[in-house]
Structure 1
């Protein structure tokens, strides 16, 4: 390192000589593992010769791949750094208001000497400063102008960067604020809708019970008007059924709001429509669908049709298998509905199909008789909507013909 002034009268060393004495050692001993520090390179002699000598010294150290840091006030050295590869200008910021350095290192921009500004603030008359400016060479003026322009651009960039940062922070705050408001409103809406649906479902259920009670009372009071009561019961049940369907439609709309973000590959889920449990193997964000591995079955299901469960697949399969073995011992492959009323027949068919599915039956026979065809129509209405039914047909001649429906279970 060559820092400070080691001039000596006793040793006949001037400022310049003392610097050269140290630099001679650098040039002889430096290599690619050397760090060289030089303060005010080329100072203590004619500025032009000192600058030229400084450039030559830097070139030699660069050839030796020594890492070099040199300070200077010479504009020639600043220009050299601009035009030479692997050489970079840098400066320490200086506050002209306080006449103190800020100790902020600025890469890529050379520092100005600020001699005129400092002299003016320290009381040197303006006319002397103005005269001094006219004595600068064109090259020195050009370098100083470049430095000033660079500093102005840097200041402008820093100001714009600060404004942009403030804008981004403000934008981020607004975004977070509105996202929170939307989330709160959505939560409030969901709670209100859930409460409204639960209240409506309770009202429908209570209405069903009340309708059954009233109809039962009417049947007991006047047997002669039983057919009219039956028709009134059918009409009331149909209206309640339509109301239930409306509620179910609303519930389905809510379920359709489910996002792929609510599920992930590997989740254990139950598929409502088929009553099976499995593991999600793939998700489709756009279609809102998932691939489910349910035992040996590969199923594609809507996300709205899925419910997360905690039971492992192997336990669930074992439980289902054991249950089906037990169920199959009690479920007959044939259901006789002859003599049943319309609504009661539909209820029995719906429950029987659930039992047949759980028992593992592949095909069942539903006997409804020929008659007016009302029971057959009631059975077909249930079969059209039941998720366990793969297909159905009327019986062949030897199976019972029009009085029997053969159902294939999924």
Structure 2
């Protein structure tokens, strides 16, 4: 990392990024990041960070744990070396992390193209993971089930050990030997079972001496009776070691065979860990994605320095490269000038490192090949350089490198020498850098540079706002307004006598005084305009709120209007259906009267029909008026539901409810052969518990049976115009009524049409228990449009 990046503290940002990484190699990768200088490369790198952030916000960040770099042991296994148990467990940890990433990858519904190659490079090896973890229990222990041979050897070792312990237990419990023993215990020396014997009795216990205590009072003797058992244990232990070596070699060979796959997955996971770390840091900074442009335009909205406490940092807006290529920032000391230019430079470098930026949306930055910086006090005692000399040395190097793809940041340009010469030199340096077509931001106190910015096209003034009343900077960067040093105002507020201040003002040149007055007037005008802008913005927000409330109210009224229209349409349909029903009833009555025209009382019938016709016409007129108020509101004893027998108010007609009330309270009612849709307020429940039906001169009580007139069933039923479900329900009811009335033959009119209704009727007749047979109608009966059925 070059000195310019360090001057902007990019190294500290990368340390912060490394803290978000999960593994050491990821941290190393983060610390070694260098800004890219090609636009397309920066866009591709930033896209990976954005995709990682999108995935983590939607699916969570996969936990890879603390990955360990096992490259060395994997390469040794690849060439045939045997790995230790610890090395195999390290490999198993990597395999576990690989499996975690693989399972997380497989759950993704949308897979981002920028990270797909890395995610596909992580290949899980579940079988190898199970082989290692089932065989190796710890860094020093192999499981018995690692192989059948090992399990058998260890079983024999345990058996031989039990045999030896049994012999020694008898000895230590024997009264003969207890007086020879230092303690009645069994211990081990050199992997062999022994007993502690007092030194003076070592000749009394026959066996091999393996060790002596530090005091010399005890010798550890292997009795002759357990020598053979101990020898067998030693042989078995050697076999166990050989078998363990074989198991480790076999596992190492399997690891070596998968070496390239494991290393490829590991490298991909380390890189993924870096992108997930960038994502986590972006969330911590509340960062957004900047637009990358090739025109050298910088436009940062509410930019925040990432190393300043988020609770204390003041967001700033910075523009450069569109209307002007040079920005001169002025203002008092500690006002935030240096922080402003360091924020700009650091955010540019962060974007070129593929990091999201702590800025508001729609911010844009270009890609610079070089970011050249002269910031801070670089006085060098070793090189015998003064502050001014050190700055000039640095600026000379900048002038040698600056070009059209460079961003130059100069802090306190021209300071440290004679003000007149320093100001002239500063202007000359800015002009030279502009001639080399680099973008420039410089901070200064010199009025001459402020005047240069006012009089030069492509150069703009900016200032860091300072509140003289509180003697505190606001840290806001105001583009287009030159700043004031405010030295006199600050001194006066701190208590310097007015006489000294007036004397100082007399020493200021008239030209500088006039310039400061102009700046002061501009600042006052700016503050007034700022207040007016805030007031206008507040009023605009209030107007927007009022407009939104009006829009919401208008939308609500439109929705209410639509509901009322739909309610009126439904009511109109109901009225039309009821009018059709009443008209059909009148036609039926007229047809009945016509059929009886030859009867003796025809005149009376006609007279009564005329009176009834007029009465029904009045009812139709009342029915056609949707505004007519109904008096005497009826409340049913229970909610009306499908299958109820009801009376239609105003029609004096009983019918059967075919459907439950809909959302607006309307139900379908079948009255005779007519079906209508009426509001449930127009219906009256009929109490049927006291009604009876007479069959074969016997009184039988039944429910859901209406008057005698309803039991007079015609010999035909018309199902045309009904749906299949409605038709089958009406057909079942008609057949039941026909059975009760003793009808033997019925005619079902279903029409020809598509044949679907006829097929449904025939299907129901085949299964109906009361139907003996059925056939299609013949010529004169309606042919295929009717079905004639015989009732059992």
Question: TM-score, normalising length from structure 2?
Answer: 0.28
- Structure of greater relative contact order (alpha carbons < 8 Å, 6+ residues apart): 2
Structure having the higher Rg: 2
Instruction: Identify the structure with the greater helix proportion.
Output: 1
Question: TM-score, normalising length from structure 1?
Answer: 0.50
